[in-house]
């Protein structure tokens, strides 16, 4: 994919009343454990003795993945339906750990607007997001480094007129 294709697909995922947007690319400082809801295993039959023990967990994950994909209009009453999803995401974050005991840092799922697009939410606060500079990845608090030359802004209606922002 070209950078333009990626930019257009990213903008297609946005909602809201703004006429303008700002986008940028980020790099991870180190590997992150991410819960992948993109291609979940099929739900086994209740009558299949070898796999039926996985049935209730997979039913839950398939249902959660469907809920995460739902779109809501910004500022509408539908926003309240995201609260249970956020609570479950936080629970999954605490539940899933790698071999070293590090918690999951995000959730990956298919877009409701375009099946070929993967959406991701990362559990990274402001202090974990830094602008890349010398040795930025060695900062223990840093998880994501903003690539300064990647920042662009412009009208949503015409991405060909976008300007690259001066990182200074």
In a domain, 77, yes or no: yes
More confident residue, 2 or 34: 34
Report yes or no on 2 lying in a domain: no
Q: Is residue 114 a part of any domain in this protein?
A: yes
Looking at residue 2, its pLDDT comes to 45
Residue 79's pLDDT is: 54
In a domain, 14, yes or no: no
Q: Report pLDDT digits (tens) over 58-100.
A: 999 999 888 888 776 666 665 555 566 677 778 888 888 888 9
Q: Computed from CA positions of residues 65, 67, 63, 92, in that sequence, does the dihedral angle turn out positive or negative?
A: positive
The string of DSSP codes covering 37-52 is -SSPPPPPPTT-TTTG
Q: What is the pTM of this model?
A: 0.71
Mean pLDDT of the chain: 81
In a domain, 45, yes or no: yes
Kindly state whether residue 128 falls inside one of the protein's structural domains.
yes
- For residue 15, is it within any domain? no
Domain with 55, as residue range(s), is 26-146
CA angle centred on 26, ends 137 and 70, rounded to 5°: 130
- Report how far residue 73's alpha carbon sits from residue 12's, in angstroms, rounded to the nearest whole number: 14
Q: Decide if 104 is inside a domain.
A: yes
Instruction: Indicate the pLDDT class of residue 54, thresholds 50, 70 and 90.
Output: very high
Structural domains in the chain (count): 1
């Amino acid at each position: 994919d070209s950078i333009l294709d990626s930019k257009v697909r990213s903008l297609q995922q946005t909602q809201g009343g703004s006429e303008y947007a700002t986008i940028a690319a980020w790099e991870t400082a180190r590997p992150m454990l991410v819960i992948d809801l993109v291609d979940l295993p099929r739900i086994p039959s209740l009558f299949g003795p070898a796999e039926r023990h996985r049935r209730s967990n997979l039913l839950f994950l398939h249902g959660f993945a469907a809920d995460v994909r739902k779109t809501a209009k910004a500022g509408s009453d539908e926003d309240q339906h995201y609260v249970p999803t956020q609570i479950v995401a936080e629970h999954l974050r605490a539940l899933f750990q790698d071999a070293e005991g590090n918690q999951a840092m995000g959730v990956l799922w298919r877009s409701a607007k375009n099946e070929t697009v993967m959406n991701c939410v990362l559990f990274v606060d402001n202090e974990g997001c830094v602008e890349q500079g010398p040795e930025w990845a060695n900062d223990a608090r840093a998880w994501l480094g903003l690539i300064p030359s990647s920042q662009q802004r412009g009208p949503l209606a015409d991405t060909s007129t976008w300007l690259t922002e001066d990182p200074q």
